[in-house]
Amino acid sequence: MAYAAMISLLGMLLRWGVSLYPYSGAGKPPMFGDYEAQRHWQEVTVNLPVKEWYMNSTNNDLLYWGLDYPPLTAYHSYLCGLVARFINPDFVELHASRGYESYEHKLFMRYTVFVVDLLVYFPAAYLFLKAMSSCHGKGEKGKLEFLALILYPGIFLIDYGHFQYNNASLGFFIAAVSCFVANYDCLGSLFFCLALNYKQMELYHALPVFFYLLGKCYRQGTFGRFISKLMKIGLTVITTFGVLWYPFLSDSQLLLQVLHRLFPVDRGIFEDKVASIWCSLSVVIKMKASVDNTNMALICMLATIVCMIPSSLHLVINPTQKNLRFSLVNGALVFFLFSFHVHEKSILLAAIPACLIFSEEVFMVTWFFMVSVFSMLPLLIKDGLALPTFATTIFLYIVLASMPTKRHRLNGFWVWMTRSFYLSMFGFAFLSVVSLTLPPPPRLPDLYPVLLSLYSCVHFCLFCLYFHYCQFMTPQDRQEKRKTKIH
């Protein structure tokens, strides 16, 4: 408990330090940025009836930061809007509050993120610590994962700097995995439904969760137990979705509109430069110009599903919590590399599961953390967050470099890996310095973001292969297999 409290206090200090810096779109009309998007959703939800939240109208111009996240995000925005209106009605006054910026409002918005951390993300991280301790007995596994979850800078650079609420969906996701580790599968299913209904990007984790639960159902021993467990999990999922989507189920047109907002195919395969396969290929083959959005979405879906098959089948056959944790990393990386309309911030969906295997692969996960933060550098520089990005990333490396690493491989291999790590970091340092100090050539204004995305993409492909190897080749705990059969 003392360890968790100390790490949590340090995490809070880092988060509040980042919050002192600018946010996305600060003082940049007419659209401002993600900060304004979150504020505007509070304005819309607190002033309009539920059935108008996702519909285009004179009071809700969807071209101006229209809601495009699932209902749980909308409900959260509504609660924040109620508090905002109580503190100062100007914060969320319909139409008139667009682009509202003041010191008091910034403080209020920062506190809304902080409250989610205190109520959702930090308790979920502690729940994972307790689940791992209970599963493996006394040891450092849960402690190392907890440290990684709290101190990984990517999530609070985006939530407290750029400004979003990733800590809500990812907090529910961590709580779900914690329940799966502790063999509370129905409760874990409920938490995962909450995560998926907060941000649809949790689909990155949906296939591993589905195949893990399917594999556990198959291991019940008898057909009756299989059906019983499957029905319990299914009922949990249906009930959770039914409650959250109830206001939108009475009108089919409204339901279709919400789904259209959640999956905007017309927005294209990507927006800014991102370290995905498709964005990298676009340097040579102009994907947006050569393939229309609908066909590109189908190509992305097919490529993602095909690349997910090996990890998913392995998880069905061996549904252990260790395989689940590795499969979540692998699935998220596959989605990030191959899926449709990826944002640079989506790498958080792979980084948080990577926190959950930290004690298994300290060196490689540390390396992955560094690359994941650097891959978001163009976005963070644009938001005026270069200094906190470098400071928190260097701090993370100093902390994690002191962690014990497994040296079960040949010493020569680790010498080569260590040299590769420093060479990799030198490349990122060089690109970072150049991006900050030298203007790009006039004919290539996006040169540095493109180079960073290409360089990061190569790293992510190699990480994806390595973590797949870890999932397939890591020896399984026989005691854990027996627990899986029992539960």
User: What pLDDT does residue 137 have?
Assistant: 61
> CA 192 to CA 198: how far, in whole Å?
10
Q: ∠235-240-245 over CA atoms, to 5°?
A: 125
User: What pLDDT does residue 486 have?
Assistant: 46
The residue ranges of the chain whose pLDDT is under 50 are: 408, 410, 478-479, 486
Question: pTM for this one?
Answer: 0.94
Question: Where do runs of H (alpha helix) occur along 159-265?
Answer: 166-181, 185-196, 203-218, 223-249, 252-262
The domain ranges of the chain are: 2-26+101-486
Strand partners, 155: none
> CA 163 to CA 110: how far, in whole Å?
8
Q: ∠16-325-369 over CA atoms, to 5°?
A: 40
User: What pLDDT does residue 266 have?
Assistant: 77
> CA 79 to CA 348: how far, in whole Å?
25
- For 66: left if phi > 0, alpha if psi spans -120 to 50, otherwise beta; the answer is beta
Preceding amide of 30 cis, omega within 30:
yes
User: What pLDDT does residue 291 have?
Assistant: 83
